[in-house]
A and B are shown apart, each in its own frame.
Chain A
Amino acid sequence: MKRRLGAVALAAALALSACSNDPYPDADASRAIFYNVFDDPPKTLDPQIAYSVVDHSVIGNVYDTLLQYHYLKRPYTLMPGLLEEIPRAEPQPDGRVAYRLRLRPDLRFQEDPCFELSSPGSRTRDVTASDVAFAFARIGDPAVGSPVLETLVKISGMREFGEKLVKRRTDDASFAALRIDRQYAEIGGIAGVQVASPSELVLVLDEPYPQIRFWLAMPFTTPVPWEAVAWYDGRDGHELFAEHPVGTGPFRLTQYEKRSRIVMERDPSWYGARHPGAPGTVYPTDGEPGDVAEGYLDPARVGKPLPLLERIEFRREKEDIPAFTKFLQGYYDLSGIPQESFDRMVHEGALSPEMSAQGMRLAKAVGADIYYIGFNMDDPVVGAPAGERGRKLRQAMSLVADTAEFQRLFTNGRGIPAQSPLPPGIFGYDPDYRNPYRKVDPARAAELLAEAGYPGGIDSKTGQPLRLTFDTPATDTRSLLTFQFWVDEWRRLGIDVQIAATSYNQFQDKVRRGAFQVFQFGWVADYPDPENFLFLLWSGMARTKNGGPNTANFEDPRYDALFDQMKARDDDPERLRLIDEMREILERDCPWIPLFHREGFALYQAWVAPPKPVGMAFAVDKYRQVDPALRAKLRAAWNRPIRWPAYALAAVTVAVVLPGIATWRRERA
């Protein structure tokens, strides 16, 4: 009996000594792996469809884009990616515009069994202009469901291509059964996407659209091998193409357990590894003033071949607190700050001394976005039909919307109060500009309300109280609380605003029908150009009339004319002047109450080389660097298990049970 008890105690002691809170295999401790988290799994890894941040965090590493952004330069600066140079607009005699896209020589797809389809025994092949044309064809194919089709219909023949494709598939079952690349070829491809040679593609647009260059820096237009789309069709045990990317990027996707982890390994056959020194294949040697002081131009990184990591590992964390705890234990390299822990981590905008002592550092990034309250300009009370009354009502409501207080209550003070639609980092943003209706001035607001004919919130004509609805696209408690904040501000002015909370789709339906008055929305930039913000108020994009993203239905002929001039210009003083004039129109007419631009606070560990904050979703993982030796040392120091409570618990159990057994045996004896 004693021997058995001894064996159990020994086994328990051994098990306890093997205890560890390390979530990774021991063998990984010395490797240059970057550990990060994701919440919701990616929806798709199909570059022509993927639109969410988490989708792009994988796709951006597996697929190189035709153009790319300079890692350090701000405002965001384009540089060549898969293309040899940034294409220039070539105006055509018929008013159309052509761009020549020249691919770098010796580009290759990542190794994959799908290339058996085109060449038996082969595991890869060169990237050609036809692969870029195939990507454009997939965007134009309605069955693919690319979310950017409507934007890229400016490419000549894009819409006709889709219509022809749908018609042939409906009319001819044998056509619909053809391999996808043959279907595209048989109907002649897209007229405005012409393969001039294996390395050159000509893109023809129906109208000038300089922003096309930004779309070339997004994964939507990255070349895709037709073999991968045909092979990974979800049949005969093959995966789906949306789950199995075959790209040209610095990392290969090696494990895709999207409900628990995503692993990408450095691809030794990447273009950059074969052609060191090409743009985007070594760490940049120049940046902005201040980058040296911030450590972004550390000699340990500058000029080094990319990527600087061996592997990127994303682990899924559905809850904030466990994820943050693991970060504090050293098991993640980068982390946001949960609201509950914010005050412990950050004091007056800087990292707390306790965290600094652990070597952690704080990175802040202002998002290329805008959050705003909008008015339905078609509405007879708050909109344009109310004329001067409506304008003064909107201005009055803007003058009591206290963004600073909102941020204090809901965002831990994070965010830049917005004065216009344009966020910092975008051409046309003026840090010194102050919108006269974006300060808090309840007295002036009450005056304006009276001038609008609603003194104290009572309609002077009818004697009835002014009632408005605040139409919101969310029904969860937290969102409702934030909406209630604005409602309370307006009620203090005497305006009775009721929240009409519905699901996102019901809200969209109300917006389509024009049955809404006041709403709150946000916009995150697709690309760093003022056009991508100012088009949100262009009448051609009016939601109720044209189904575009101008949800406020704002229409102003002068604004539209200025927008048309501004969108086709390069960044020059004249463009700045046009933007200033548009801003004045928005200031006076007040179709929006610009609220804030989000500010992300991220913590990173002592062993991570300082990452330059980016406010947009483009891939930067190839520039990251970690020091595994320092990480292993600090992790070991932070995570020594405390074992004595286990021994104490065992002792207490024995102390309680043994006397009982002894007593019982004595009584039985």
Chain B
Amino acid sequence: MLAYLVRRLAWGIVTVLGVLLFLFLLFFMLATPDDIARKAVGEKAPQAVLDQWKLNHGYDKPRIWNPEAPGDTMLAEHFRRMLTFDFGNSDADDTPIADRLLGGAGPSLAFTLPLFVSGLVLGISLSLFVAFFRDTYIDRVGTVIAVLAMSVSTLLYIIGVQFLLGKLLRWFPISGFDYSPEVMVRFLALPVIVGLVSGIGSDMRFYRTVFVEESSRDYVRTARAKGCGEGRIMGRHVLRNSLIPILTNVVVTIPFLFTGSLLLESFFGIPGLGSITVDAINANDFATLRVVVYIDSLLFVAGQIATDFSYTLADPRVRLG
């Protein structure tokens, strides 16, 4: 178990370092320090202001190799900062990045958490329901709706839901965010609905397959033969024994609840981490972008390891080693 953990962590570290290196190389293949500085100081600013900005932000150093002082390069500084979690200030507006990320995690969680919980409950309930009625028209109607739901692009859902529920029926605000709970609920309705509708199809198809396969096993037949009720069979036996594939699907996504959604946050105007990421890309804000990518890669590795461990909790037969 310990050996397994060490091995996974070691691979995780290599992955994260690789991500950091690729990020640096890709970013600076597309943008120069002048591009970053120009975005920050504006188009009218003279060259002297641009140069001063680069000096203040450390973009005046050689990028990869400095024969006089090998440690004094942008690449070395990049790794030093990330590995010591010294995130520094944003290139776009000089605000501390750690504060910005903490500020963005709240709005992201405000919509990812209800979306995650309601998506999980709805996905599992509907799948149990259609699996329960398998081979009836309810199952078939459910399958058709699920396939339709997963075939449509999220962008179309966003525009469609904004038009239908926001503009035509006037049930919810089209987009925006507010920290007062009274108004926040109104704002979160549409992104949660879009998240649910766009995710429910594939979840339903997946969970239904798992449940149907599980409910044809011998122990289910035995339980039924012993006179166990159908609701109890589905709710206790089938659901419990289907947990491993469900956990694979679910646990890995939990860490990303903090990072929000690039698409939904942008279109619905939620000032979360997804929106911060999009802003950082648009503003050539390398300092912020690298922190977001770094944290994402750390969370990814953490999610993978957590998923492995959750197997042992769900099924005592699983051993890590």
0/1 per residue, A634-669, Cβ < 8 Å to B? 000001111101100000000011001001100010
Contact segment of A312-320, A444-452, A552-560: A312-320
Contact segment of B115-123, B168-176, B293-301: B168-176
Q: Hey, which chain B residues are within 8 Å of A514, CB to CB?
A: none
Of chain A, the residue at the smallest CB distance from B162 is A322
User: A367-397: which residues lie under 8 A (CB-CB) from chain B?
Assistant: none
Of chain A, the residue at the smallest CB distance from B129 is A657
Once the chains bind, are A150 and B95 in contact (CB under 8 Å)?
no
Given known pairs A322-B175, A504-B43, A642-B170, the reply for A43 and B93 (CB within 8 Å) is yes
Given known pairs A145-B53, A319-B267, the reply for A642 and B44 (CB within 8 Å) is no
Of chain B, the residue at the smallest CB distance from A242 is B94
Once the chains bind, are A642 and B169 in contact (CB under 8 Å)?
yes
**Interface check A277, CB cutoff 8 A:** no
Of chain B, the residue at the smallest CB distance from A234 is B96
Once the chains bind, are B94 and A150 in contact (CB under 8 Å)?
no
Q: Hey, which chain A residues are within 8 Å of B173, CB to CB?
A: 21-23, 326, 331
* A652 CB to nearest chain B CB (Å): 11
* A132 CB to nearest chain B CB (Å): 22
Once the chains bind, are A329 and B180 in contact (CB under 8 Å)?
no
**Interface check A433, CB cutoff 8 A:** no
**Interface check B13, CB cutoff 8 A:** no
Q: Which of A40, A51, A260 contacts B177 (CB 8 A)?
A: A260
Q: Hey, which chain A residues are within 8 Å of B183, CB to CB?
A: 23-25
Of chain A, the residue at the smallest CB distance from B132 is A664
Q: Hey, which chain A residues are within 8 Å of B44, CB to CB?
A: 51, 147
**Interface check B47, CB cutoff 8 A:** yes
Q: Hey, which chain A residues are within 8 Å of B56, CB to CB?
A: 143, 145
**Interface check B151, CB cutoff 8 A:** no
Given known pairs A21-B166, A22-B173, the reply for A147 and B46 (CB within 8 Å) is yes
**Complex-state Cα separation, A411 to B56, whole angstroms:** 40
0/1 per residue, B277-299, Cβ < 8 Å to A? 00100110000000000000000
Q: Hey, which chain B residues are within 8 Å of A642, CB to CB?
A: 168-170
**Complex-state Cα separation, A645 to B164, whole angstroms:** 11
Once the chains bind, are A640 and B186 in contact (CB under 8 Å)?
no
Of chain B, the residue at the smallest CB distance from A549 is B44
Of chain B, the residue at the smallest CB distance from A258 is B93
Once the chains bind, are A23 and B186 in contact (CB under 8 Å)?
yes
Q: Which of A20, A260, A331 contacts B269 (CB 8 A)?
A: A260
Of chain B, the residue at the smallest CB distance from A644 is B169
* A153 CB to nearest chain B CB (Å): 10
**Complex-state Cα separation, A639 to B186, whole angstroms:** 14
Once the chains bind, are B171 and A19 in contact (CB under 8 Å)?
yes
**Interface check A407, CB cutoff 8 A:** no
0/1 per residue, A64-78, Cβ < 8 Å to B? 000000000000000
0/1 per residue, A7-24, Cβ < 8 Å to B? 000000000100111111
**Interface check A498, CB cutoff 8 A:** no
Q: Which of A51, A329, A509 contacts B170 (CB 8 A)?
A: A329
Once the chains bind, are B178 and A145 in contact (CB under 8 Å)?
no
Q: Hey, which chain A residues are within 8 Å of B41, CB to CB?
A: 145, 147
Once the chains bind, are A259 and B96 in contact (CB under 8 Å)?
no
Q: Which of B89, B133, B170, B177 contacts A660 (CB 8 A)?
A: B133
**Interface check B200, CB cutoff 8 A:** no
Q: Hey, which chain A residues are within 8 Å of B96, CB to CB?
A: 234
Given known pairs A23-B173, A24-B183, the reply for A142 and B48 (CB within 8 Å) is yes
Of chain A, the residue at the smallest CB distance from B182 is A25
Once the chains bind, are A547 and B46 in contact (CB under 8 Å)?
yes
0/1 per residue, A271-284, Cβ < 8 Å to B? 00000000000000
Q: B40, B172, B266, B270: which has the most chain A beta carbons within 10 Å? A: B172
Query: Chain A contact residues: over half helix, strand or loop, or mixed?
Result: loop
**Complex-state Cα separation, A369 to B319, whole angstroms:** 71
**Interface check A199, CB cutoff 8 A:** no
**Complex-state Cα separation, A240 to B44, whole angstroms:** 24
Q: Hey, which chain A residues are within 8 Å of B49, CB to CB?
A: 145-147, 149
Q: Hey, which chain A residues are within 8 Å of B171, CB to CB?
A: 16, 19-21, 641, 646
**Interface check A285, CB cutoff 8 A:** no
Once the chains bind, are B52 and A660 in contact (CB under 8 Å)?
no
* B98 CB to nearest chain A CB (Å): 12
Once the chains bind, are B46 and A318 in contact (CB under 8 Å)?
no
Given known pairs A19-B172, A146-B49, A147-B42, the reply for A317 and B269 (CB within 8 Å) is yes
Once the chains bind, are B93 and A505 in contact (CB under 8 Å)?
no
* A270 CB to nearest chain B CB (Å): 27
Of chain A, the residue at the smallest CB distance from B104 is A259
Of chain A, the residue at the smallest CB distance from B186 is A20
Q: Hey, which chain A residues are within 8 Å of B230, CB to CB?
A: 668
Once the chains bind, are A325 and B94 in contact (CB under 8 Å)?
no
Given known pairs A143-B52, A316-B269, the reply for A664 and B133 (CB within 8 Å) is yes
Once the chains bind, are B269 and A21 in contact (CB under 8 Å)?
no
Q: Hey, which chain B residues are within 8 Å of A509, CB to CB?
A: 34
Q: Hey, which chain B residues are within 8 Å of A25, CB to CB?
A: 178, 180, 182-183
Once the chains bind, are B95 and A243 in contact (CB under 8 Å)?
yes
**Interface check A574, CB cutoff 8 A:** no
Q: A21, A240, A640, A646: which has the most chain B beta carbons within 10 Å? A: A21
* B283 CB to nearest chain A CB (Å): 8
**Interface check B5, CB cutoff 8 A:** no
0/1 per residue, A111-151, Cβ < 8 Å to B? 00000000000000000000000000000001101110110
**Interface check A294, CB cutoff 8 A:** no
Once the chains bind, are A259 and B279 in contact (CB under 8 Å)?
yes
**Interface check A163, CB cutoff 8 A:** no
Q: A25, A41, A322: which has the most chain B beta carbons within 10 Å? A: A322
Once the chains bind, are A147 and B45 in contact (CB under 8 Å)?
yes
**Interface check A479, CB cutoff 8 A:** no
* A89 CB to nearest chain B CB (Å): 26
**Interface check B38, CB cutoff 8 A:** yes
**Complex-state Cα separation, A646 to B47, whole angstroms:** 60
Q: B44, B179, B279: which has the most chain A beta carbons within 10 Å? A: B44
* B180 CB to nearest chain A CB (Å): 6
Contact segment of B78-86, B134-142, B254-262, B308-316: B134-142
Of chain A, the residue at the smallest CB distance from B32 is A505
User: B146-178: which residues lie under 8 A (CB-CB) from chain A?
Assistant: 162, 166-178
Q: Hey, which chain A residues are within 8 Å of B279, CB to CB?
A: 40-41, 259
* A69 CB to nearest chain B CB (Å): 20
Once the chains bind, are A43 and B40 in contact (CB under 8 Å)?
yes
Once the chains bind, are B94 and A240 in contact (CB under 8 Å)?
yes
Q: Hey, which chain A residues are within 8 Å of B176, CB to CB?
A: 23, 260, 315, 326
* A514 CB to nearest chain B CB (Å): 15
Of chain A, the residue at the smallest CB distance from B176 is A23
Once the chains bind, are A656 and B141 in contact (CB under 8 Å)?
yes
**Interface check B92, CB cutoff 8 A:** yes
Once the chains bind, are A645 and B169 in contact (CB under 8 Å)?
yes
Q: B38, B171, B172, B182: which has the most chain A beta carbons within 10 Å? A: B171
Given known pairs A259-B271, A260-B177, the reply for A21 and B172 (CB within 8 Å) is yes
Given known pairs A142-B52, A325-B167, A660-B137, the reply for A316 and B38 (CB within 8 Å) is no
**Interface check A503, CB cutoff 8 A:** yes
* A281 CB to nearest chain B CB (Å): 32
Closest CB pairs A-B (n = 10): A259-B271, A260-B271, A23-B173, A660-B138, A147-B45, A19-B171, A505-B34, A322-B175, A322-B174, A21-B170
Apart from A145-B52, A322-B174, 10 more pairs, CB < 8 Å: A21-B186, A23-B186, A43-B42, A142-B52, A143-B52, A143-B56, A322-B166, A325-B162, A504-B35, A505-B38
Interchain Cβ contacts under 8 Å between A and B, 23 examples: A21-B172, A22-B186, A23-B176, A40-B283, A43-B93, A146-B49, A147-B44, A147-B46, A147-B49, A149-B49, A243-B95, A257-B271, A316-B271, A322-B166, A326-B176, A504-B43, A508-B38, A640-B170, A641-B169, A656-B138, A656-B141, A663-B136, A664-B136
Binding site for B on A (CB under 8 A): 16, 19-26, 40-44, 51-52, 142-143, 145-147, 149-150, 234, 240, 242-243, 257-261, 315-319, 322, 325-326, 329, 331, 503-505, 508-509, 547, 639-643, 645-646, 656-657, 660, 663-664, 668
